[in-house]
Amino acid sequence: MLSFTPTSKFMIMKKLLLFLLFPILSISQSHLEVRLVNANVGTPSCNYFFNDWLCNSTNDAGLNTILSNNGVNYFRSVFGHPYPPYQDKIFTIGYATNIQQLANELSAYSSVIASARLTNSDGFSDALMLTLNNALIGVPTGREGDTVVTNDSGLNAIFQSFNVFYYTLSYPNYPQYNTEYSLTCDCDAVALKAVLDSYSSVITAAYYAPMAMLNLNQFEKPKAVISPNPFSYTFDIQSDQAIANYSIIDITGKTIISTSSKAELDSQSSQLSAGMYVLNLDFNNGQKANYKLVKK
């Protein structure tokens, strides 16, 4: 059986992510990450999946005025935030005449905008993923107020300093990845990463939780109809073409299900955690197609 070091696993996941998804901006650039107060107020007014790439207006008039006054050319949905309550609330903003001024105006619009942060990371501004050296050291044991507590005092001190309020296994259904964790903080993820990287007695590696959106060029015109989508347990696939293989890929680019059996696909997909995935279909005629898939 093949085995991978945590570093090699990370590199493989990054390469797969770049193939299926893409980060909004490179690490050398600053981007403006916006989190809404309410997932239904301030969202792009374009179709969420197919058109928000070009969208520069929302369903909130006040937010539209701010975006227009600052020359914003797109207000784009992203997904993959590890903290469930933040999912569907995170957006990134395209070109603006003065991005710092825009950040200030958005932060002041607190009835709609929960936060507006400039970051130079290639992931979310307040979230990280990390690999522990030992699956038994650094595991969560409870909370102290709003801060997560682990069984390691050094990590607790870091979490307390950076207000880490969410910390959980990245792949709870896969015991072989029991050293992989995701966290969210009320802090700057860049600064937190630097401290975690230096805590090498407990942490093998810390890396940015990928801020990603679907690459529209990767999603071909439908060769199949997926329903229901979002789904709770199983979903139907209607297609005129015979399907040779089904694969489901998570937001890190990791293939978590691959099978030629629809019955096996149903069995495994019913156990998925809630979130967004990519369904890849390989047809008997050699063609492939990818579809966004949402588990409720």
Domain boundary among 80, 97, 119: 119
d(CA 117, CA 133): 31
Examine the domain organization and report whether 168 and 104 are in the same domain: no
Report yes or no on whether pTM surpasses 0.85. Answer: no
Q: Is 165 a member of any domain?
A: yes
Examine the domain organization and report whether 230 and 183 are in the same domain: no
User: Is 49 a residue whose pLDDT tops 70?
Assistant: no
Neighbouring CB atoms inside 10 A of 73's CB total 12
* 259 touches 265 (CB < 8 A): yes
**Residue 91 carries which side chain, given as an amino acid letter?**
F
Q: What is the CATH number of the domain that holds 233?
A: 2.60.40
pLDDT confidence of residue 147: 97
Total domain count for the chain?
Answer: 3
Q: Is 223 a member of any domain?
A: yes
Q: Is 241 a member of any domain?
A: yes
Domain boundary among 119, 151, 176: 119
Give the pLDDT confidence of 212-252 residue by residue, as tens digits: 654 434 444 446 888 888 888 899 998 888 899 999 988 66
Q: Is 8 a member of any domain?
A: no
User: Is 156 a residue whose pLDDT tops 90?
Assistant: yes
Give the percent of the chain with pLDDT over 70.
81
Give the pLDDT confidence of 54-65 residue by residue, as tens digits: 577 899 999 999
Backbone angles phi, psi at 35, to 5 degrees: -120, 130
Q: Is 48 a member of any domain?
A: yes
Give the pLDDT confidence of 124-136 residue by residue, as tens digits: 999 999 999 999 9
* 103 touches 154 (CB < 8 A): no
d(CA 188, CA 99): 18
Mean pLDDT score, 142-163: 97
Which domain range does residue 271 map to? 219-295
Rg of the chain (C-alpha set): 20
68-75: long-range contacts at Cβ-Cβ below 8 A with a sequence spacing of 24 or more? 69/105, 70/96, 70/97, 70/98, 70/101, 70/102, 70/105, 71/95, 71/96, 71/97, 72/96, 72/102, 75/34, 75/44
Mean pLDDT score, 275-283: 85
pLDDT confidence of residue 70: 93
User: Is 79 a residue whose pLDDT tops 80?
Assistant: no
User: Is 273 a residue whose pLDDT tops 90?
Assistant: no
Give the pLDDT confidence of 27-39 residue by residue, as tens digits: 335 678 999 999 8
d(CA 282, CA 290): 9
